[in-house]
Amino acid sequence: MQNYNSKFKILTFYTVILSFTFLFLHFASAQSSPQFLVSWQAQSYVPSWYSGKVFPTQGSAVEITFEVLNNGKIVNISGNKVRWYINDKLIKNENDGLGIKSLKTYATGYAGFDLEVRIVIPDYPTGVLDTTIRIPIVRPEVVIEAPYPDNKVSSGSNLFEALPFFFNVKNLSELSFEWTANNKKATETGENPWALNLNVNPQTPSGTSINILATVKNILKELEFTSKSLQMTVK
């Protein structure tokens, strides 16, 4: 992939958020001892090269794990009660076993809302330990990979690729792709429906604008879709 602008922008955006959400430290006292170290991972689709935070969309599975640190060392809580709450609802407690340090749940809310996770250890030796994290639920997104400086294309073949993010699917085969150019259905490359081969007629006047629109849908969840447009100009 030649054009890293779109990748960089989305990666930078989510990396900034990552610094606030991936590892959440909650101090039980002003001396920061003991403390929770909480991390979470959503099972949403992203391209294989993406190294930023993977956020859940509505319905995505999310796994949360934690450790308790004291003076920089991990505390053994295998004999302690751990109570998990999701959006103020008790999900797991000591009836499910002691020392439960991980939970798999689902993002049931709508995009723009948070999945609120609360973890309580009621019988810690120094008193009740309690922390809450909020996991943002996002809309799926698509970025159009356009390896053309200044968004200018030449006559002949011009290749584009749709890069989907945060869909509640396991792989690209569960997504449908539709391309249009100036409101007319465009031709995909065939084997790869996420790619577009835009063939510009050599007689097309220089300066002609071509609006490319990529629409991506979850095949099994019709309300999960997104689109992205890109304005190109013929050289």
Q: Which domain holds residue 152?
A: 141-234
Q: In 3D, which of 65, 68, 85, 3 has the Cα closest to residue 33? A: 68
Q: Which of 87, 115, 136 is the last residue of a domain?
A: 136
Looking at the structure, do residues 92 and 204 belong to the same domain, yes or no?
no
Are residue 220 and residue 192 in the same domain, yes or no? yes
pLDDT digits 0-9 by tens, 178-205: 999 999 998 655 678 999 999 999 999 9
- pLDDT (tens digit per residue) in 4-55: 444 434 444 444 444 444 444 443 333 457 999 999 999 999 999 999 999 9
Question: Scanning the structure block, which residue is given the tokens 């190109």?
Answer: 232
> Mean per-residue pLDDT for 95-101?
97
Number of domains comprising the chain: 2
* 58, 162: one domain: no
Q: Do 149 and 86 belong together in one domain?
A: no
- pTM confidence score: 0.80
Domain end (from 112, 136, 160) = 136
Q: Looking at the structure, do residues 115 and 199 belong to the same domain, yes or no?
A: no
For the residues 175-179, what does the mean pLDDT come to? 96
CB 81 within 8 A of CB 93: yes
From 114, 136, 158, the end of a domain falls on: 136
Do 127 and 56 sit in the same domain of this protein? yes
CATH number at residue 223: 2.60.40.10
